[in-house]
Amino acid sequence: SDTCDLVTQVTYADPGARARLRIKDGDMGTLDMLRAAQTTDAPPASYDLKTSAELMTNFVQSDILQPQKAFEAVQTHVGLSLLFAISTEGDLNVVVEETGKTKHGWAVRNLSAPLIRKVFQGGEAKVRTFAVSQVAGRGAQRAIRVAMVVEAGGMSHLFLSLGNSDCNLDWTKDIPWVAAPYNAVDDEGKPYIAPRPFHIAGVMLAKAADCEMIVVDVLRNPNASQPLLERYWIKVGSPGPKYTWVKHTAPADFEASTYMSCLGRKANEYVDGIYTAGKVNNKSQLIYAPVYNVWDAGAPALPSRLQLPGGKVPDCVACAHRSTGDNTTDLYVAARGALYYFAANNQHDQAVGVAVVEHPTLLNGVRTMFAVEEAGEVTVWALNGSNEVFYLSCHSDAILHKSEWSVPLPIYSQVDAISPYIDRKHLANTFFAHTGTDLIKVTKTPGTGLWTKRNLLLPASVATQDSREIKSFTTEVQVTNKGTGELAADVEVELTATTVTSVSINHLYYAVGPQPVKVKTDTEGTVTIVELTHDLVATRFSASVAPAGAVGPGSRRLPGGAPPVAIHPMDGAFKRNAALNTRSKLRDAKVQEMDGSERPFISSDVSDDALDQIAKLNDSLNDAHEDAKTRGMPLHARRLAHTRSFGAPVFAEAHLKGKSPFLCDIGDLFNYLKSGIQAAISFAKDHGGIWYFLAEIGDSIMTAVLDTVEAIGSAVVWVYDKIIAGIEWVIKMIEFLFGWQDILVTHRVIKKFIVLTAQDFIDSIPNAKAAFKNSCDGFKKNIADWTGMKVEGLNDTPADANKNQSMHHRDSAPGNTGKHHLKGGGRQATSDDKPDGGVPSILSKLCDLAQKEEQTLVNAADQIKTQVIDPFTSLSLTQIVERITGIVGIAIVDGFENIGLELFDVVESMVSGLMDKLDKALHIPVLSWLYKMLTGDQLSVLDLVCLIAAIPTTIAAKVIYGHAPFSKHSEVTKRMLNAKTIQDWNNAPWDQSRALALYRPGVPKVHLHAKAEGKDVEKHKALQALALGFGALMGTVLRCYCTVIKDELKRDPAMGNDALYLFETLRWIGSVAGSAPSLSPEMFDKLGDSSAWYYNMGKILTTMGKVRGFAQIFFVASKNKAIGKAFSLCSSFENTLKLIPHIASPIYDGELSVHIVLKTIGKISSDAGGILSFPKKVSESPQKEELMLAEVALRMSYGVIMAGYPLVWMAEI
C-alpha cells in the first residue's frame, strides 16, 4: 500500500502444547516451537546414520597440473584458491578451485589466449610476466586485481583487469582486459620517448582498499650488461585515457638483477609507497619512497632510508597490511640469520629495524619472503638459499617479544618457488609450492597443527587412460529412514571435519574443515568420502542430519533429523598397528601384494632389540590414543604450544639423556623429519600426564604435544623410521587387505551363474510360449486357492526387513569400492557394442495389444499403489498377502496373456545376440583399468556386475567365517566353475553322486532343505546365496543408476543414441544379475518338470522380463511413444503377475523360516517397483519424478534384502 502498515501474526498458544514442550516465558523461538508442535502436517522424518571407514588402496583417473613458469595464489571469499600461472606454452591461466561442483575440483581457465587472438591476430605473442593482488583488510569480500604483460614483436604490452570479485568468479571465464599502452608525458605535456626495445621488467599492484595503485618497472637500457630500471606509476580513471603512465622519481638507480620491491604504506601517509632493497653502485640500500608527492605531484616524494643493525645487507623484504584496516603496513626484512621488524610507525628516515627472530641457518640467504596479518596473527613465510620452506608466526600484539614467535622448522625442502596465504574461512596456513617435479597445495589445520599436501588434479585428457593407485581413507555414511528402514535418498547430511583439506564426496571435490559442509545422499542413501593420504594424516568427521526446524529454545533439538555421529577413519588401521606389540607379532607380520604374494613386513636382519623397542613404542602410542579419544574433536583454532614462552615440558630423566628439550609444533616436526634427518623417536608422558612426541636429533631433543587422535595416528610411521625406508610400506602393512585373488575367484563363480542362467533363458524360449500359456491356465484353475490364501502370524514388515540388515557385513567402505567407481565413472562409459537397430514393424501388434489392455492394468496398478505400495513399509507380510490376493485375479492374467504371447514372438527374432551382449568390452574409468591389471582381460558388461558384487561378497564372508567364500582349491568351487548347466551349478555343494540321486524331476522340496544334508552343505548353499545376493544388490544399483542416467540422456539433445544403447544394455545386465536370488532352486528345473504351477509361472515371468528387457535395448532411442508405452506396460503387467509365484511358493511349501520371509519381502518390494513402470511412463512432472524415486527406493530395498538375507541364514546355521 501507499502507507506504512503494521502487520501482526497471531498464533494461538495451546496451554497443553506449552506444557509438553516445557516452554517458559521469554524463551527464544517460542513461536517457532509452538507452530511446529501445533501444525497438522506429518512429523519430520528421523534418520539413522551408519558408518564404515578404512585406510585402503584406491584408484583415480586424472591428469595432474604440471609445474608452471611462474605462479601466484589468492583466495575467494570462502578460502578457495585461485592460482594464477604462466604455463610452459606462455599462456596466463587461472586455476580455479571449486567445491561441490566438479569431480576433481580444479578448472584451468585461459586468461590470455582470447585477448592475444583478438589483439595480435595470430602473431607470435606470449605472456612475459604478470602480477595479481587482493585487497587487504577486514572486508568479507576483497577485490582481485590482475596485470598481464604480453611480449609480441620484441615489445611489451600491458593489460589490466581491476576490481574483480572474489565471490562471483564468472570473470575468470571471460576476463575484462583493458590495454594500458605507454603514454607518459613530461611536465610540459610532451611524450617521453620510450626505451627501444620496450621491455617491462615487472609490475606491482597495491593491496590497499582506498586506491588502485599500479607500479611498472621498465628496463631503461635493456641492451646493457647491467640494465637499470625506470619506474612508472599508472594513474587510474584520470581525464583522458583510462590509464595514464606517470614517471616515478626513484631515490636511487637500482640494478635490475639485484633489486626487490613491494608496495605498502608507512604510518601517517595518504598514498602507497615502495619498499626497495637492492644495490646502488654496488652498495646495498633499503629505501621506502611514496609513489608520488601528494602535496606537489611535480616534486619528488621524500624517501625514508631504513637501516639494519650493524649495517647488515637485506636478503629479502616483505610487508604485511595491518588488520586495523587503515591500509598501513609493517615491514619485515630477512638478513644474515635474523628477521627484522619495522613497525608502520617506525619507518621514518634512518629508522632501525628490530630483530625479532634469530636462526642462523634457516634465516640465512632468504630469497623469497611473504608476510600477512590476518585475524590478529602475523605469519611470515620464507624460502631460503637451501630451497627450504619455513614460516614464523606471532600474535600481532606481541611482535616485539622474541619469545612469542614460533619455533621455525623446515616444512618442505627442494622447493623452487612458493605462494602463500592464510585461508580466511578456517584461518589455515596455506601455500602452493613448486618442488621441481610437482606443483602442490599444502595446508596446515589450526586445530590439529598437521600439514596435508595435495596435487592439483584435472580431468583426464583421454577417457581410456590408465588410472593411478593411491592410498586413501574411505568413509561411507549410510542414511536410513528410522521409521521405514528404507535407504534415504536425497537427504541433506551435514559434515564437519577436523582437518582443513580437500576430499571427494560422492565423486565431487569438496574443501572441508571445522565449518560444516552440506551434501546430499545418493540414490542409495549413501555419502562416500575419499581422502587421499600420503602420511597417515586422517580427518575425523562428524555427520548429522539437521531436523526440519534446526534447533529450538535452549539449543534443544526439534523432532526429526539425526544426531551427530563421530567418524574416525584411522581407527581400523591404528588398531591393526597397535596389535603389533610383541617381537613375534612383528616377525610374523606380512604384507600382501595385489597378485596374492606375501613379503615380510620387517626384514629378517632387524635385531630383536630393535623389534622390542618398536613393540614398546606401539604400546605407548596406543596408550596415548586411548587418552586422546576421550577429548572432543579439535574443531576450533587454538594457540599451538610451540613458542619459546610456553616452557619446556618436564619428563623423567630417562627420556632426556641429559639433554634439554625444546618445544615445537607437532605438524612442523613431522614435516621436518620427512626431510630424511636422522632421529631417535620415543613417546613420553610429562609430569602433568600429557603425552609428547620426542625426536632426538644430534645433541638436541625436539618435543611436540600429542594431544589429538589425528596427531597420534600420524605418529605411527615414525615408529618404524629406523628400520623401514618409506612411509608407503608402513601404510601397505596397516591398510585394509582386499585379497584381490580371492575376489577374482568369487567373481568367476558369480559370472558362471549368470552365463548359465542367460543360456538357460535362451534354451527356454522355444518352449516358453506354450509353458506361459499353461501357467496362465494353471493359475485360473487354482484361482480359488489363490484368493483364499491365508498366512497368519507373519508380523514382519518391509521396514523390519530393511532395519535388520547389518551394514558392518553388507555395506562397508572397502566392500563398495567397485560400486563407488561405477557411480564415479559410469557417465564416461563407452562400449564397442553397437545395436543393429531392428524393424519397428514387428512391434506394431504388441503396441496395439498394449493399448487395448491399458485400462485393465491402470485399474489394478492404481489399487496396488494405494493399498500396497504407498503403505508398503508399515504393512506386515500377512497384510501384504491379503491385499495382493484381493487385487491380482483372472482379469489381470487375461489382460497380459495375449501381450505375453506376442512378446515372445518379438523376442524370438532377436535372442540370438543375447550372449554376445554379455561379452562386449566396456570402458569405464578406473574399473576397466583395474580389471585388466588384475586379470589381463578387457572388462565386459558382465564382468562389471560380477566384479563389483564379488568385492563385498568376499569381504562379508571373511568377516563371518574368517576365510574367502570360494577357495580355488575347494571341490565345491571347482564344480561350480566347471558346471555345464545351471542345475550343475546349483547342486555343486553336494557330492556329485549324492546330487544325482537327489536331483529328480517332481521332487522340488529336496532343493530347499539343504539342512537335511548337514551344516557344511547348508553353509555352501548360504555362500551361494550370499554371492547371488550381492550380485542382486550391485545389479540393482546398476539398474537404478542406468535408469536415472538414461532419463538424463534423453533430456539432453546433444547426446547421441550410442550412449542410450549402452546404458540400456547396462541396465539390462543389472536386471539379469538382480533377478538371480529371486529364482527358487526349483526354477533350475526344465520347464514343465515341476508339478506346481506357480514354479513354472515364476520362471517364465522371470524369463519374460529378461527377454523383454533385451528387446527393449534395440528400441530405446525410438521416438515412437507407443513403443515405450508398450514395453513399460509389459513391465508393469509381468511384475504384477510375479507377485503370484513370489507369494505362493513359500506359503504352499510351508517354508517360512526367517531368511525365507526376508527373501519374500524383498521379492515383493522389487515387484512393487516394477509395477510403477507404466504409471511413471504416462505421468507428467512432478509426479513422474516422485514415481521414479519410489521405484528406486523399492528396487534398492530389494537389493539390500537380497544381500542381507543370506547373512541371516548363516546366523541360523
- For residue 438, pLDDT over 70 is answered with yes
User: What CA–CA distance (Å, rounded) separates 346 from 927?
Assistant: 63
pLDDT at 493: 95
For all residues of the chain together, what is the average pLDDT? 81
pLDDT at 994: 58
- For residue 643, pLDDT over 80 is answered with no
SS (H, E, C) 606-668: CCHHHHHHHHHHHHHHHHHHHHHHCCCCCCCCCCCCCEHHHCCCCCCHHHHCCCCEEECCHHH
Q: For the ranges 105-119, 146-160, 330-344, 1101-1115, which has the lowest average pLDDT?
A: 1101-1115
pLDDT at 93: 97
User: What CA–CA distance (Å, rounded) separates 29 from 731?
Assistant: 50
1164-1169 mean pLDDT = 87
Strands 92-97 and 106-110: antiparallel
Which one of 188-192, 885-889, 1048-1052, 1077-1081 scores highest in mean pLDDT? 188-192
- For residue 230, pLDDT over 60 is answered with yes
**More confident call, 1131 vs 857:** 1131
What is the DSSP track for 914-944?
HHHHHH-BEE-TTHHHHHHHHHSS--BHHHH
Residue with C-alpha cell 487375461?
894
865-901 pLDDT, tens per residue? 788 777 877 777 677 776 776 676 776 777 777 777 7
- For residue 1003, pLDDT over 50 is answered with no
SS3 1077: helix
* Dihedral over Cα of 833, 839, 844, 849: its sign: negative
User: What CA–CA distance (Å, rounded) separates 842 from 484?
Assistant: 44
Q: For the ranges 20-34, 844-858, 1060-1074, which has the lowest average pLDDT?
A: 20-34
pLDDT at 256: 57
pLDDT at 75: 96
Strand partners, 527: 477
Q: For the ranges 392-396, 405-409, 456-460, 1074-1078, which has the lowest average pLDDT?
A: 1074-1078
585-606 mean pLDDT = 88
Contact (CB, 8 A) for 298 and 342 = no
Query: Residue type for 1005, please?
Result: K
Within 8 A by CB and 6+ apart from 49, the residues are: 477, 478, 479, 493, 543, 544, 545, 562, 565
Q: For the ranges 352-356, 737-741, 1056-1060, 1088-1092, which has the lowest average pLDDT?
A: 1088-1092
pLDDT at 112: 96
| Four-CA torsion 1014, 1016, 1020, 1022, nearest 10 degrees | 60
Contact (CB, 8 A) for 263 and 204 = yes
How many other CB atoms are found less than 10 A from the CB of residue 866? Answer: 10
User: What CA–CA distance (Å, rounded) separates 197 from 220?
Assistant: 10
Contact (CB, 8 A) for 996 and 718 = no
Within 8 A by CB and 6+ apart from 721, the residues are: 673, 679, 681
Residue with C-alpha cell 619455513?
390
**What's the length of the chain?**
1213
Split at pLDDT 50, 70, 90, the class of 690 is confident
- For residue 6, pLDDT over 80 is answered with no
pLDDT at 373: 95
SS3 907: helix
pLDDT at 1128: 85
User: What CA–CA distance (Å, rounded) separates 440 from 433?
Assistant: 5
992-1001 mean pLDDT = 55
Q: For the ranges 211-225, 530-544, 773-787, 1008-1022, which has the lowest average pLDDT?
A: 1008-1022
User: What CA–CA distance (Å, rounded) separates 729 from 746?
Assistant: 28
Vertex 1081 angle, CA 1080 and 1084, to 5°: 105
- For residue 1130, pLDDT over 50 is answered with yes
User: What CA–CA distance (Å, rounded) separates 1063 from 466?
Assistant: 23
**More confident call, 97 vs 1136:** 97
**More confident call, 329 vs 141:** 329
389-413 pLDDT, tens per residue? 999 999 999 999 998 999 999 999 9
Within 8 A by CB and 6+ apart from 519, the residues are: 100, 492, 493, 495, 505, 506, 508, 510, 527
Exposure b/e, 526-561, CB count within 10 A at least 16 = b: bbbbbbbbbbbbbbbbbbbbbbebeebbeeeebebb
Within 8 A by CB and 6+ apart from 1138, the residues are: 1098, 1101, 1102, 1105, 1163, 1167, 1170
pLDDT at 1004: 42
1087-1123 pLDDT, tens per residue? 334 556 677 777 777 777 776 777 777 777 777 777 7
Split at pLDDT 50, 70, 90, the class of 1202 is confident
User: What CA–CA distance (Å, rounded) separates 728 from 57?
Assistant: 11
Contact (CB, 8 A) for 911 and 705 = no
- For residue 24, pLDDT over 70 is answered with no
The strand ranges marked E within 450-553 are 451-455, 457-458, 468-481, 492-497, 501-505, 508-512, 517-520, 526-532, 541-545
- For residue 666, pLDDT over 60 is answered with yes
287-345 pLDDT, tens per residue? 999 999 888 877 888 999 999 998 898 999 999 999 888 999 999 999 999 999 999 99
1069-1093 mean pLDDT = 61
pLDDT at 4: 52
What is the percentage of the chain residues whose pLDDT exceeds 90? 32
SS3 1197: helix
Q: What are the φ/ψ torsions at residue 1166 (nearest 5 degrees)?
A: -65, -45
pTM: 0.83
Instruction: Please report how many Cα atoms fall inside a 13 Å half-sphere around the Cα of residue 300, on the Cβ side.
Output: 10
pLDDT at 1087: 39
Split at pLDDT 50, 70, 90, the class of 807 is very low
SS3 1074: helix
Contact (CB, 8 A) for 967 and 973 = yes
134-159 mean pLDDT = 90
